[in-house]
Amino acid sequence: MNGKNHIDNDRLEAYIIKTYIEGEIQEEKEVSDEYIMIEQHLGECDECSQKAHELLKEIKAISNWSVYEDNQVLLKLKVYEALISLEKATENPRVKKRLSKWVKDFKGQAGGTFKLMMEMVSAGRRKTTKMIIEGFEKLNTKSSILFDYGVELAPTRGGTNEIVVNFNQLKAENTATPLKINLDKKNRSLFIEFEAKKEKKLPMAVLLPVKASMSPVLQFPVYNEKQQKWEITFKDIGEGEYYFLFEPGYMV
């Protein structure tokens, strides 16, 4: 490994987390050849050394958010980086202030989270488009919105109807403001609808791509005068996996 063969981000993050954050490497016998090579390279390569320094600062910034467990650290790091990039990119002082509050006051956690799969190959077979609500509790604040899947009646072969889960529809379980989320596979859009009065303050939302090459998208709720409802719409969602995040601190 030399200055021309730089360390990729995944290996560098793993090295930083293990050595500086989790503190697992305490004795010489525990140090792997991989980590020895990385340390030697960092001592010789200014570019990778600077990158490691920046990564360490970012990871330390979120190290007090919660215990590093269940591989949640990488997701929280992605959320942190997304919020910082959105804050830097916006010229709207009101939006900048709310994003800064999201990072500082809520430590990057969300007011409700789910995963979106858009035209993803499932089990090597047909492509699937659906929303997944399980497994994101640790990313949410204590007063976050809880989601439940929509259900509908579907006819069986015997001619009777039975209740089935619709993974393209969500509703809120624990909020006074009725909230519905619909995923439109055909039009590649995500539609959020709040049944709330015009003076109600509602959260903005972020659609965060899993792929690092894609940028996060921030949307504010818009009041529909005709329908007398608040709406958030994400259009032209490309193929891939995403995390949907509601801004915390707004009881809807």
Residue-wise pLDDT tens digits, 130-175: 999 988 888 898 888 889 998 877 666 666 667 778 899 999 877 7
Residue 13, domain member (yes or no): yes
Does 25 lie in the same domain as 115? no
Instruction: Quote the percentage of the chain above a pLDDT of 90.
Output: 38
Nearest to 74 by CA among 159, 19, 139: 139
Task: Say which amino acid occupies 57.
Answer: K
Does 58 lie in the same domain as 112? no
Cα of 241 vs its chain's centroid, Å: 10
Residue 228, domain member (yes or no): yes
Does 127 lie in the same domain as 231? yes
Does 227 lie in the same domain as 134? yes
Does 46 lie in the same domain as 146? no
Does 136 lie in the same domain as 31? no
At 223, list the tokens. Answer: 């009041």
Count of domains forming the chain: 2
Residue 2, domain member (yes or no): no
Does 197 lie in the same domain as 120? yes
Cα–Cα dist 14/24, whole Å: 12
Nearest to 246 by CA among 128, 98, 111: 111
Q: What is the pTM of this model?
A: 0.72
Domain that holds residue 165: 108-246
Residue 140, domain member (yes or no): yes
